Structure 1
């Protein structure tokens, strides 16, 4: 190993240097060098929690940023994430990370359909370091299986993670199911919006912005146990109009209808090859999914943030984002009898027209 490896993460500069060294290894797919780096940090007395959160988590965030900017491919992003996951295992197996259970029991899991498991794994490891007995269930846990597990373990709380906003309706079902058997739920992850704004409407008992904050919160007063048969669905009265249900159930048909009409509304599509047409269909499917989620929450910002992000992703890949406004207009026509859906779609169109990061580059 290089003698430039920091021996302590006593300040932000040392953490940044260690993260850069790990990034060099992770981005090259060099698992051995990455593992040697974290072992050296731990051998030299670096706090394992710091290695997890100030180094590994920082590098993983950069992996996502590099993919979004089109500087690494999907395959490279997956490979880098796989190396990072192995590095987390290396930290957990190091003698410096061995702790005695001094607290209660926490179940950590991802919402069903959520495949970004690393944030939850980082939380699980931090909680172990803090003295908790942790059951880490991994990514994409079906709610019935989660409930069976809770019945058999008497967990003090469940920590649910989700990065994808379209999983929020499923998260709501999981939160309610856990609470119905008397287990409180702490949630976290990007899906729950800026400052965790969707955690309370979905009935979560607590929200934390990151693993360190979650561990601090759980170390305080125990989360109160919900009453049996606890229900939260009455907190979303707008669902009574059935727009969410009807849009989510007709998603496939909506994608087909808009895809067929888009060739006339966006003539450049006529020259698309097979792969480009497949990608367009996938983008339309994501648009409908995020529209349904915005309807579920009655929050147009879920949709407008996604549309702005999609436009930036397309521009980064040298694909004109000018196909998005016609697609939103066609969807609004198909859903003309759904006032909330039309309002949300119009908000998306306005966002595309005013977003400075994409508006000037949306032409074909």
Structure 2
């Protein structure tokens, strides 16, 4: 395993986007051009393309959500398919972020309109570094006349709560792209609700249908920035002030399996890495960088296992491993190394019934994949 999974941008749900050139909508050509420019790292050309779309009559909100957002989504897909490098992915994201600033500022409403709408705090949960989806929401809300406090990436929960006490927004919008941030997101949203502020959540971490938002007790969930803005216009009721523990929403946490796996993360990673070196011969020829990436991959596997235990959702872990197998295949690494990792974890966690169930479910899915490999996959 040598895929640097920490660089993923959209989580495990990475369906290949259709070619924007094939679309018949007015922004199809602009999406194709913007993609070419961000892939090449040409910020000036990217800016010209976006400005041209605005001058051609596309609304500012449409430019943000129907031009820039799909191109950014494609950045993640192309990285996952190993068609662009990590450096290209970072550069493209940075360009899109700067283009958003140039675009949104030109379409902001007058300040008195913002005061009439209300106030929203937009933040990424602690540990979430992918801030562009939250940034898009913040800009859309500003365009619609809201006063927005955008706190950016990786907002520690105590800092967020302190902000709420000082500024008393009408609602908090929390963003997370990576499912392993969901335990922290749960703590953040319950802390916000405890001071009487309703919480709208969004991002790939919460599931394509919002299932994890409901499981964690969020006041609302939105699939994208446009839906989130529409929901906020309808208004969210303030929650009742009350002390709230994670186990109140997720009673299965009382068995302590999540806590035990999360606390033993370092030991589990070391054990899997040690046995993988013995049982997976190709590792003997790995470079130092490849070994580092492998250790990071194993850490992600343990993190996703812990998150599956937190939510009591076997499918979350299985989907992650299936996505990881796709990443490894794109990088010409045999996906069977994942089975070795599952076997080691299974032996270490044999006394944990839910962990055993999650691992067995994933092992069966991977075994079926090995029996019927996908095109181009090495078994």
Range of TM-score over shorter length: over 0.9
Query: What is aligned with 2:81?
Result: 69
Equivalent residues of 1:315, 1:358 under 8 A apart: no
Any gaps of 5 or more consecutive residues in structure 1? 1-10
Structure with higher RCO (Cα < 8 A, 6+ apart): 2
Contact persistence 2:109–2:145 (CA under 8 A): no
SS at match of 1:13: coil
CA positional deviation for 1:280: 1.4
1:336 maps to which residue? 350
What does residue 170 of structure 1 align with? 184
TM-score, length-normalised on structure 1?
0.93
1:189 aligns with 2:198: no
Deviation at 1:273, TM superposition (A): 2.7
Q: 1:21 — aligned with what?
A: 33
Determine the structure 1 residue equivalent to 2:330: 316
| Cα deviation, residue 70, structure 1 | 0.3
CA RMSD of aligned residues (A): 1.6
- For 1:263, the equivalent position in structure 2 comes to 277
| TM-score (normalised: structure 2) | 0.90
Distance 1:19 1:44 in 2: 14
Offset of residue 15 of structure 1:
1.6
Q: Residues of 1 paired with 2:27 and 2:367: CA distance?
A: 40
1:171 and 1:357 map into 2 onto residues whose CA distance is 37
Deviations 1:267-314 (A, max 9, x none): 332332322222211111000000000000000111011000000000
Residue 307 of structure 2 is aligned with which of 273, 287, 293? 293
Contact 2:172/2:199, CA 8 A, preserved across alignment? yes
Aligned ranges 1:82-93 → 2 under 5 Å: 82-93=94-105
Q: Any conservation in 1 of the 2:121–2:149 contact (CA below 8 Å)?
A: yes
Using the TM superposition, give the Cα deviation of residue 39 of structure 1 relative to its aligned residue in structure 2, in angstroms: 1.8
- Measure the CA separation in 2 of the matches of 1:359 and 1:288: 24
Task: Give the structure 2 partner of residue 8 of structure 1.
Answer: none
Deviates more, 1:258-267 or 1:324-333: 258-267
Alpha-carbon distance between aligned partners in 2 of 1:118 and 1:215, rounded to the nearest angstrom: 16
What does 1:267-282 align with in structure 2 at a 5 Å threshold?
267-282=281-296
Q: Which runs of 5+ in 2 are unaligned?
A: 1-22
Q: Following the alignment from structure 1 to structure 2, what is the Cα–Cα distance between the partners of residues 206 and 39?
A: 34
Q: Sort the Cα spacing of 1:131 and 1:230 in 2 relative to 1 into closer, same or farther, 3 A.
A: farther
